[in-house]
């Protein structure tokens, strides 16, 4: 079965399993996940499960990428900061909705950042901005962001990320040291954050 057919089947599975918008489903349908998966795991690229990508990191399960995309409520032109580029797949899904030039991504591991940049360029998302660094510090020059999400678990949302979020913006990520919960926080005009919990999850820790 071709990668394209496997991807269509995966998205059909997600459509039945989750409550997802057409924008999220179209983005998941458009991005070739197999291109971001190491060669030795490529035959499993369209299974709905995480896979290792090197440096102790993983590519998230497709359903989790879809759920996070949905919770961010993105629109074209929104500026988005991703903490934890990994292989670049999640950034590409985000870019399908907001436009590649509006996506900023920080990766702790230089080897992963370089590989992600090469892959993203090869599959048409070369305008995504990627830098190697400490995700807890965010990307001040790009602020304020409409949305910020973490693909790694933090004990709490880093203060710099809260500061760099626009009023009305969404901050999303796994929070917790042992047991992790997917938390969405919306920034209010007075600087307060309204938080919602969206279930237990398991992510690699923020470096």
Catalytic site residue from 43, 49, 60, 75: 60
- The answer to whether 19 is a known catalytic residue is no
Tell me if 81 sits within 8 A of 139, measured CB to CB: yes
Nearest to 185 by CA among 164, 163, 170: 170
CA distances to 28, 34, 42, 77 from 164, rounded to whole Å, are 27, 33, 36, 17
Nearest to 85 by CA among 103, 67, 62, 71: 103
The two structure tokens encoding residue 78: 């929104």
Count of CB atoms situated within 10 Å of the CB of 76 = 10
Cross-strand bridge partners of residue 59: 51
Distance separating the N- and C-terminal Cα atoms of the chain: 38
The two structure tokens encoding residue 201: 């999850």
12 CB-near residues (< 8 Å, 6+ apart): none
The span from the CA of 114 to the CA of 107, in Å, is 9
Active site residues: 60
């Amino acid at each position: 079965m071709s990668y394209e057919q496997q991807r269509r089947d995966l998205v059909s599975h997600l459509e039945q399993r989750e409550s997802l918008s057409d924008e999220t489903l179209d983005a998941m349908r458009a991005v070739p996940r197999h291109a971001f998966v190491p060669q030795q795991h490529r035959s499993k690229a369209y299974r709905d499960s995480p896979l290792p990508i090197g440096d102790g990191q993983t590519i998230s399960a497709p359903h989790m990428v879809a759920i996070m995309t949905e919770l961010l409520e993105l629109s074209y032109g929104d500026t988005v900061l991703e903490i934890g580029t990994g292989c670049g797949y999640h950034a590409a899904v985000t870019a399908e909705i907001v436009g590649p030039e509006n996506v900023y991504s920080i990766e702790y591991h230089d080897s992963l950042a370089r590989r992600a940049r090469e892959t993203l360029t090869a599959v048409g998302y070369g305008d995504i901005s990627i830098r190697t660094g400490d995700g807890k510090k965010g990307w001040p020059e790009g602020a304020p962001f409409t949305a910020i999400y973490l693909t790694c678990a933090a004990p709490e949302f880093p203060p710099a990320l809260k500061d760099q979020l626009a009023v009305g913006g969404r901050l999303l990520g796994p929070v917790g040291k042992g047991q992790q919960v997917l938390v969405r926080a919306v920034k209010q005009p007075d600087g307060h954050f309204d938080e919602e919990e969206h279930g237990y999850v398991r992510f690699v820790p923020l470096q």
